[in-house]
């Protein structure tokens, strides 16, 4: 099985691709109807949270550039 890939989009959502499951805080599974690609809202404006509906257009700015986190605390 290949890894699940999350892409942080500039000025928008988080795109998820691959074999994944999304659950709420109680562990209930969202019915994704067989989707293997979808986007999660980052801006908080979607009317279909946690999924992106494009409401961020012109209202959310973030340039997504990868960086290294500091070392994990033990």
| Per-residue pLDDT tens digits for 2-45 | 789 999 999 999 999 999 999 999 999 999 999 999 999 999 99
pLDDT at 2: 73
In this prediction the pTM is 0.86
C-alpha distance from residue 36 to each of 23, 57, 71 (Å): 15, 24, 32
For residue 1, pLDDT over 60 is answered with no
Across the chain, how many H-helices and E-strands are there? Answer: 0, 3
pLDDT at 21: 96
pLDDT class for 49, splitting at 50, 70, 90? very high
């Amino acid at each position: 099985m290949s890894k699940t890939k999350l892409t942080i989009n500039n000025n928008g959502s988080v795109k998820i691709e691959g074999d994944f499951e999304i659950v709420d805080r109680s562990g209930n599974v969202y019915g994704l109807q067989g989707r293997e690609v979808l986007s999660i809202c980052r801006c908080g404006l979607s009317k279909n949270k946690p999924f992106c509906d494009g409401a961020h257009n012109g209202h959310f700015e973030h340039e997504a550039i990868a960086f290294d986190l500091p070392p994990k605390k033990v």
